[in-house]
Amino acid sequence: MDPKTAELRIRQLRETINGHNYKYYVLAQPSISDFEYDTLMNELIMLEAAFPEFNDPASPSQRVGSDINRNFEQLPHAYPMLSLGNTYSRQELADFHNRVVKSLQEDVQYVCELKYDGASISLTYENGRLVQALTRGDGEKGDNVIDNVKTIRSIPLQLKGEDYPEKFVIRGEIFLPHEGFEKMNREREEAGDPLFANPRNAAAGTLKIQNPRLVARRPLDCFLYFLLGDKLPFGSHYDNLQKAKEWGFKIPAYMQVCKSIDEVYTFIDHWDTARKKLPFDIDGVVIKVNSYAQQRKLGFTAKTPRWAISYKFRAEQALTRLLSIDYQVGRTGAITPVANLEPVKLAGTTVKRASLHNADQIALLDIRLDDYVYIEKGGEIIPKVVGVEKSKRSLFSQPVEYITVCPECNTPLKRKEGEAKHYCPNENGCPPQIKGRIEHFVSRRAMDIGLAEATIEQLYNHGLIGNQADLYNIKKEDLINLERFAEKSAENLVKSIIKSKEVPFERVLFALGIRYVGETVAKKLARHFKSIDNLQYAGIDELMAVEEIGEKIAESIIQFFRDVRNQLMVEKLKDAGVCFSIKENEEEKTGNQLQGKIFVISGVFTKFSRDELKDLIEKYGGKNAGSISSKTDYVVAGENMGPAKLQKAQELGIPVIDENDFLKLLE
């Protein structure tokens, strides 16, 4: 291809991809499949690599991120990025309104918006192009995280139309939707990483990752909610936001112009209840004077604007007594302190235990035994301790001394630099770590062996198993004399262990519990290396050549196979007949009838197991997803499908099909 033709095609591809990004990430109205989109993007990346003279920082190819680590440059904000005053009180909100009216001596309109729980960002555009992205920092200057921000597909790199100001700033909130947050935590759990506490921390932490390619893998989103500049099209906040929507910005629909303080109260009351149905977190409502002229007249205090305030919702809390603290050891050795509480009702359930997260959190809140503590449900799900009622504290209470040795094996704990958790390093001698790895190995998505946690405990305590490979030495006569085992149950367990030898290589690899190797990574490694022998002796460069395998995963794999005990375990599993290579008929797809289609499986089926359905989807070119979203093409429903999933599918207009309909798609 000659340069002139290449330049024309590159421009066409950029325009087409930008259009699809806008439809998908801003309007939530995708018009092509993921496969078609990826084909366009791959063509663009190849052409830009072949013709570097046409490189453009605003190209949509920049969204995939690069592997270059860069320290963030601190730059000044063109307009100070001040915090808003907060209130939980209706009276203080009324006082704010009275001050505004008294200062202006004229009618006032407010714009009410939701207060998104994420990381604030300030974007600068020049001639329609994104040129800077600053975090809040200290309000006067912030970190320029533009390379990371470019990976967020709902943020335009090049604006639509031509009627935007030559230079302006738009501010908003970068956040993680619930669905993306839950997926990230599932993947971290599979990899043995500590879970993120909440979407806000995960979003803020992601924005500060030095490697943009890692940021690109996380499903960040962004709402924009405030424009600043000298030549904005309108004199009111609301009208400018509606105009910004035409330029391609993702402006939230959850806002309202209110002509009285009573309308503001109505907006607050509505969202205090309705927020529970939102697919992202909010923690209140922001109230802003609509008119820019009135904003200028009202001005600022030293720290906050006088023309805006945030009303924060109270999280549902309960007060109860802290009886004791347990220290749990996970399969990776991570120590998690857990509070044992006097039972108390919270958000419709009885809470007896709550997370204390880590030593830093205990010290920060100054938590002590027998304290009365406030608990709330983080993200409305996981109970956590958030405060102490010190007026009820005993005069003789003492600060908690965090443990220094493992509660299970007495090994001195270690704390890695930059991590909040303490770890027990005795991975091959600490019982909870050993049993945790066996529990992972037998789990349904791994080897699918019918072993409950209590049975693993029993087998371990009787010396029948010391690692995963020992399972394949178990005989029926070993089990019959154990408690809860009869001849039939012993026979069933042995059959289940034998059947697990049919589990395909990719699931066996996941079952080994190599840190950072979750289901998706295991699948990519299995399909690339074809056998455990090829993987075991691969160097770091070979490993990093595999799609989505970064340095951290590669080093973890090398470290796993370097351990002699792991080598012996793998050899024992091989001798037992466990599948450690891809069979020829597994390598090729059966067909492409489902190419680019995304499926969600729900319910119980008669012709197939759920895993068999998922395998069929992948063999015919489709993709499996764990939850329903606007990206889903079909929901395959069996008996006892959850009503919430059915309702969501109906709301989004996604076809719900049964097994027979699914088979017709394969014809």
Residues annotated as catalytic (active site), given as ranges: 115
Q: Which of 249, 445, 440 is nearest to 332 (CA)?
A: 440
What is the spatial distance between Cα 516 and Cα 39, in angstroms, rounded to a whole number? 29
Query: Dihedral of CA 424/426/431/434: which sign?
Result: positive
Q: Which residue has tokens 């325009």?
A: 15
- How many H helices and E strands in the chain? 25, 20
Confirm if 41 and 187 have CB atoms less than 8 A apart.
Answer: no
Please report how many Cα atoms fall inside a 13 Å half-sphere around the Cα of residue 459, on the Cβ side. Answer: 28
Q: How far is CA 59 from CA 45, 102, 207, 293, 593, in A?
A: 10, 50, 20, 37, 32
* Lookup: tokens for 88: 């939980």
Angle at 311 between CA 281 and CA 318, to 5 degrees: 65
List beta partners, residue 374.
Answer: 319, 387
Confirm if 228 and 171 have CB atoms less than 8 A apart.
Answer: yes
C-alpha gyration radius of the chain: 28
Q: Which ranges of 229-358 would DSSP assign to H, the alpha helix?
A: 237-246, 261-274, 292-298
Q: How far is CA 454 from CA 54, 178, 480, 484, 637, in A?
A: 63, 32, 16, 10, 32
255-258 sheet: strands from edge to edge:
86-87, 308-312, 282-289, 110-116, 255-258
Length of the chain, please? 667
Dump strand ranges (E) for 28-128: 73-76, 86-87, 110-116, 119-126
Confirm if 145 and 133 have CB atoms less than 8 A apart.
Answer: yes
* Lookup: tokens for 542: 């070979």
Coil/strand/helix, residue 31: coil
Dump strand ranges (E) for 244-371: 255-258, 282-289, 308-312, 317-329, 335-346, 349-355
623-625 sheet: strands from edge to edge:
623-625, 598-602, 634-637, 656-657
> What amino acid is encoded at 323 in this protein?
L
